[in-house]
Structure 1
């Protein structure tokens, strides 16, 4: 038993040493991919059983996330139908794709190109942004949860906190500076429109979610999933649900995103000009379980082109007043017939759950669910 314990300890120590060496190289996964390696380092290898569970089933081949057309959003004829569509999508899928959302396709393409250009810079140009300060400012790193996860994923990311305390504009890398600032404006406008529709679906007054500051804490992530020499041995992003209130995502034409629906993984085919929106854990809690956050992941791939995605995570700034800074289901959604199914929780509890481990699925929701 003592020998087995020693072996386990040595193995864990060796892996952490390899993680530290990779991190300190500041080369990222892009650097590994560009170096021409033919096999991936052990820190990126995931258990075969885990990987086999992430494959889309043959039954899921005909499924796709709902596509919702926001044309004439404010017309008296169209709006009730759009509210009903978004409500149903948020209840049953937790994901939906928007078209005719008001953001020009040219703007989307320019933003994707700018993020790709950042990741394709030489290491010395990117390394000055390489750090692990997840809660503020500008950070470029490979795997934000690198030291907390059991196995690393095949991705690098540029992260910029755009609200409530954005960095000085000059702190954002010049190669994508204008596009990041503009995208914050576009994605926030789309998110606030969607929040209104989701709120109306719950019977809330227009603007209720914005009033509660659910669009004020915003984190921009420009993610690169480089070509992988052994995509069958790793992942681009491990299965998880977003802890945020709402997430807005745009991707290039390289496949990889998968969403869990009905116990099966469904591959999301890229639609040029489409914006993907998904429900976060916070919205599931606030809606008292009416809307569902769901597991999703990104597969590693051996395509010649990197997969580029731009993600905007939105959450609240102003927690409820009081010494405990608590949050939970909105009181106006509760009644004797529909009591709270989640308890209130503090900002400290939420942050600790998020930053004390690697990406996972709905662990916060599981912790605060009130037993039947």
Structure 2
């Protein structure tokens, strides 16, 4: 009877609202020394039972880009990228041109932002999706069935970047510099992915598939009950490609077949993954795959810096679908066309999930 009373007295929305309005984020909860997590962070048994990696031998492909501008080596790199994007949807690149020092400075800048006192960070705390600069915890906090154990800083770098002085000073220089470097890497990868589809190298850039650029610096603080929650729930990325770097604290996992595979940090490596948009416009040649981050059981925070590349937001009536050059009587379109507005509304109407947009636009046989 007492258990029923406890359940009936639990006001989930009230607890979430109080947490959100406190603006302390997950980092604030962790730093306060709590030994048990708030109930709205606890995930259902079916999620929790699947939290361990189920593969110890597999790892995502690692591709060396050092010969990318060499006529002798580029065809092989194109094939490697094509194979990785088609079979894994995830791969790491090394010798990509971005200096390791710049990567470390960016990671440290984001770590420094999240380690600032509450009164400094909280002025950036917002719950509005369209803000150019914001800091918050869980972009789907009110939409998800259970919250995840992370906070993030978000900066829209393109098409309409914020005033530089609006970016937090502690990581301003690093964020702006990294956005440029990550864009250079992404444009190289888009060339290789384009060639892998049998198209001209500049095709994806020409179609403005990297005009929307979002910088996100995520902090996964220590979690006192990592077996009851997740760092980020299993999901696929919305856009074209994602460029991610992480510090040495593990936690990222990728779904490959029926297995969850650990993505171990490679020194100086960048993680690249295919987004839903690229799967659709490639007519299924490239695969957008589920990935997640486990709740952090280490005392040191896990830090990741993510650059999402997509079509420019705001062009609501622009229509996209499989590229006509890839279609033939033998290879008809397997996805219908959709608008940017439909694309965005699908993402912001629910919590993070797996490939719901892809399922929505899949042609029915």
TM-score per shorter chain, which class? over 0.9
Measured in 2, the distance between the counterparts of 1:89 and 1:177 equals: 34
SS in 2 for 1:158: strand
Measured in 1, the distance between the counterparts of 2:82 and 2:51 equals: 27
Is the 2:212–2:313 Cα contact (8 Å) retained in structure 1?
Answer: no
Q: Cα offset for 1:135? A: 2.0
Q: Deviations over 1:22-63 (max 9, x none)?
A: 000000000000000001010110112211123211xx1000
Measured in 2, the distance between the counterparts of 1:350 and 1:256 equals: 29
Measured in 1, the distance between the counterparts of 2:130 and 2:192 equals: 29
- Tell me whether 1:21 sits opposite 2:21 in the alignment: no
Q: Cα offset for 1:317? A: 2.1
Q: Deviations over 1:132-182 (max 9, x none)?
A: 122231010011110111100000000000000000000000000000000
Is the 2:313–2:340 Cα contact (8 Å) retained in structure 1?
Answer: no
Q: Cα offset for 1:10? A: 5.8
Match of 2:52 among 47, 51, 55: 55
- Equivalent residue number for residue 260 of structure 1: 255
Is the 2:241–2:278 Cα contact (8 Å) retained in structure 1?
Answer: yes
- Equivalent residue number for residue 353 of structure 2: 360
- Equivalent residue number for residue 106 of structure 2: 111
Measured in 2, the distance between the counterparts of 1:123 and 1:176 equals: 16
Q: Cα offset for 1:123? A: 0.2
Measured in 1, the distance between the counterparts of 2:317 and 2:26 equals: 41
- Structure 1's 148 and 122: CA in aligned 2 closer, same or farther, altered over 3 A? same
- Equivalent residue number for residue 278 of structure 2: 283
Match of 1:343 among 336, 341, 354: 336
Is the 1:259–1:294 Cα contact (8 Å) retained in structure 2?
Answer: yes
Gaps of 5+ in 1: 1-5
1:241-252 correspondence runs (5 A): 241-252=236-247
Is the 1:328–1:344 Cα contact (8 Å) retained in structure 2?
Answer: yes
Stretches of 4+ moved more than 3 A in 1?
Answer: none
1:293-312 correspondence runs (5 A): 293-312=288-307
Q: Cα offset for 1:324? A: 4.6
Is the 2:317–2:341 Cα contact (8 Å) retained in structure 1?
Answer: no
Measured in 2, the distance between the counterparts of 1:232 and 1:141 equals: 23
Is the 1:213–1:318 Cα contact (8 Å) retained in structure 2?
Answer: no
SS in 1 for 2:124: coil
SS in 1 for 2:56: helix
Instruction: Judge which range, 41-50 or 147-156, deviates more.
Output: 41-50
Gaps of 5+ in 2: none
Measured in 1, the distance between the counterparts of 2:92 and 2:343 equals: 28
Taking only aligned residues, the RMSD between alpha carbons, in angstroms, comes to: 1.7
Is the 1:237–1:299 Cα contact (8 Å) retained in structure 2?
Answer: yes
1:154-165 correspondence runs (5 A): 154-165=149-160
Q: How many residues align?
A: 362
1:44-123 correspondence runs (5 A): 44-57=41-54, 60-123=55-118
> TM-score, with normalisation over the residues of structure 2?
0.96
1:191-230 correspondence runs (5 A): 191-230=186-225
- Equivalent residue number for residue 163 of structure 2: 168
SS in 1 for 2:11: helix
Is the 1:319–1:327 Cα contact (8 Å) retained in structure 2?
Answer: no
> TM-score, with normalisation over the residues of structure 1?
0.95
- Structure 1's 34 and 318: CA in aligned 2 closer, same or farther, altered over 3 A? closer
